[in-house]
Amino acid sequence: MHGDLIGVHVRADDGTVQREPPAPAGQHELLRELHGAYVEITGDDVARALVDFARTESATQILLGPTGRSRLRELVSGSVINRVIRLAGPIDVRVLPPPGPICWRCRAPRARAGRLSSWSPTCST
Protein backbone atom coordinates (compact mmCIF):
# COMPACT_ATOMS: atom_id res chain seq x y z
CA MET A 1 0.00 0.00 0.00
CA HIS A 2 3.10 2.19 -0.30
CA GLY A 3 3.14 3.28 3.33
CA ASP A 4 4.95 2.54 6.55
CA LEU A 5 3.94 -0.47 8.62
CA ILE A 6 4.04 0.09 12.37
CA GLY A 7 3.08 -2.59 14.89
CA VAL A 8 1.76 -0.97 18.06
CA HIS A 9 1.36 -2.41 21.57
CA VAL A 10 -0.49 -0.34 24.16
CA ARG A 11 0.88 -0.77 27.68
CA ALA A 12 -1.36 0.11 30.62
CA ASP A 13 -0.69 3.62 31.92
CA ASP A 14 -2.17 2.93 35.36
CA GLY A 15 0.79 0.94 36.70
CA THR A 16 -1.07 -2.38 36.75
CA VAL A 17 0.72 -5.55 35.78
CA GLN A 18 -0.44 -6.92 32.47
CA ARG A 19 -1.44 -10.54 32.20
CA GLU A 20 -0.73 -10.60 28.47
CA PRO A 21 2.82 -10.14 27.18
CA PRO A 22 3.57 -7.64 24.42
CA ALA A 23 3.36 -8.87 20.85
CA PRO A 24 4.58 -12.46 20.39
CA ALA A 25 8.00 -12.97 18.83
CA GLY A 26 6.34 -14.17 15.62
CA GLN A 27 4.75 -10.77 15.17
CA HIS A 28 8.10 -9.04 15.64
CA GLU A 29 9.62 -11.34 13.04
CA LEU A 30 6.80 -10.65 10.57
CA LEU A 31 7.24 -6.90 11.05
CA ARG A 32 10.97 -7.25 10.34
CA GLU A 33 10.28 -9.28 7.18
CA LEU A 34 7.84 -6.61 5.99
CA HIS A 35 10.32 -3.82 6.88
CA GLY A 36 7.98 -2.52 9.56
CA ALA A 37 8.64 -1.03 12.95
CA TYR A 38 7.42 -2.00 16.42
CA VAL A 39 6.35 0.64 18.93
CA GLU A 40 5.09 0.42 22.50
CA ILE A 41 2.92 3.26 23.74
CA THR A 42 1.16 3.82 27.04
CA GLY A 43 -2.45 4.70 27.68
CA ASP A 44 -5.30 3.94 30.04
CA ASP A 45 -7.71 3.51 27.09
CA VAL A 46 -6.32 1.12 24.47
CA ALA A 47 -8.67 2.20 21.68
CA ARG A 48 -8.09 5.91 22.29
CA ALA A 49 -4.31 5.41 22.47
CA LEU A 50 -4.28 3.49 19.16
CA VAL A 51 -6.37 6.08 17.34
CA ASP A 52 -4.39 9.00 18.79
CA PHE A 53 -1.14 7.32 17.72
CA ALA A 54 -2.53 6.69 14.22
CA ARG A 55 -3.49 10.38 13.92
CA THR A 56 -0.05 11.46 15.13
CA GLU A 57 1.53 9.30 12.42
CA SER A 58 -0.98 10.57 9.78
CA ALA A 59 -2.09 6.98 9.25
CA THR A 60 -4.70 6.23 6.63
CA GLN A 61 -5.45 2.73 7.93
CA ILE A 62 -5.50 0.80 11.19
CA LEU A 63 -5.19 -2.97 10.94
CA LEU A 64 -6.39 -4.82 14.04
CA GLY A 65 -5.85 -8.46 14.83
CA PRO A 66 -8.13 -10.58 16.97
CA THR A 67 -7.95 -9.91 20.69
CA GLY A 68 -7.30 -12.52 23.34
CA ARG A 69 -10.20 -11.21 25.39
CA SER A 70 -13.05 -13.53 26.23
CA ARG A 71 -16.61 -12.77 25.14
CA LEU A 72 -17.56 -12.24 28.78
CA ARG A 73 -14.79 -9.68 29.29
CA GLU A 74 -15.88 -7.84 26.14
CA LEU A 75 -19.49 -7.81 27.35
CA VAL A 76 -18.42 -6.40 30.72
CA SER A 77 -15.78 -3.88 29.62
CA GLY A 78 -16.57 -3.37 25.93
CA SER A 79 -14.83 -4.24 22.71
CA VAL A 80 -11.54 -2.49 21.88
CA ILE A 81 -12.15 -3.15 18.18
CA ASN A 82 -15.61 -1.53 18.25
CA ARG A 83 -14.24 1.50 20.09
CA VAL A 84 -11.41 1.93 17.59
CA ILE A 85 -13.94 1.80 14.73
CA ARG A 86 -16.08 4.47 16.43
CA LEU A 87 -13.12 6.74 17.25
CA ALA A 88 -11.20 6.39 13.97
CA GLY A 89 -13.24 8.88 11.97
CA PRO A 90 -11.75 9.11 8.45
CA ILE A 91 -9.09 6.46 9.17
CA ASP A 92 -9.98 3.11 7.57
CA VAL A 93 -10.12 0.28 10.11
CA ARG A 94 -9.53 -3.29 8.94
CA VAL A 95 -10.02 -6.25 11.26
CA LEU A 96 -8.29 -9.58 10.71
CA PRO A 97 -10.25 -12.73 11.48
CA PRO A 98 -8.97 -15.08 14.18
CA PRO A 99 -6.63 -17.81 12.92
CA GLY A 100 -9.19 -20.51 13.63
CA PRO A 101 -11.25 -21.94 16.46
CA ILE A 102 -10.00 -21.01 19.94
CA CYS A 103 -10.14 -23.28 22.99
CA TRP A 104 -12.43 -21.59 25.52
CA ARG A 105 -10.39 -22.92 28.45
CA CYS A 106 -6.83 -22.00 27.55
CA ARG A 107 -7.41 -19.53 24.66
CA ALA A 108 -5.06 -21.60 22.43
CA PRO A 109 -5.92 -22.27 18.78
CA ARG A 110 -7.69 -25.54 18.17
CA ALA A 111 -6.64 -27.91 15.43
CA ARG A 112 -9.32 -28.60 12.87
CA ALA A 113 -10.27 -32.17 12.13
CA GLY A 114 -11.47 -33.39 8.74
CA ARG A 115 -14.90 -31.71 8.79
CA LEU A 116 -15.56 -28.06 9.51
CA SER A 117 -17.93 -28.81 12.35
CA SER A 118 -15.64 -31.08 14.37
CA TRP A 119 -12.52 -29.80 16.15
CA SER A 120 -9.97 -31.37 18.40
CA PRO A 121 -8.38 -29.21 21.09
CA THR A 122 -4.61 -28.80 21.17
CA CYS A 123 -4.60 -28.35 24.95
CA SER A 124 -5.02 -31.04 27.56
CA THR A 125 -7.71 -29.19 29.53
Q: Tens of pLDDT along the chain (125 residues)?
A: 678 889 888 887 766 555 555 556 677 788 888 888 988 899 988 899 999 999 999 999 999 887 777 778 778 878 889 999 999 999 999 988 776 666 666 666 666 554 454 444 455 55
Do residues 46 and 14 lie in contact, with contact meaning Cβ atoms separated by under 8 Å?
no
Q: Which of the 8 DSSP states describes residue 80? A: H
Polymer length in residues for the chain: 125
To the question of pTM greater than 0.75 for the whole model, the response is no
For 6-100, the fitting CATH number among 1.20.1300.10, 1.10.3720.10, 1.10.10.10, 3.40.50.620 is: 3.40.50.620
Neighbours of 85 (CB within 10 A): 16
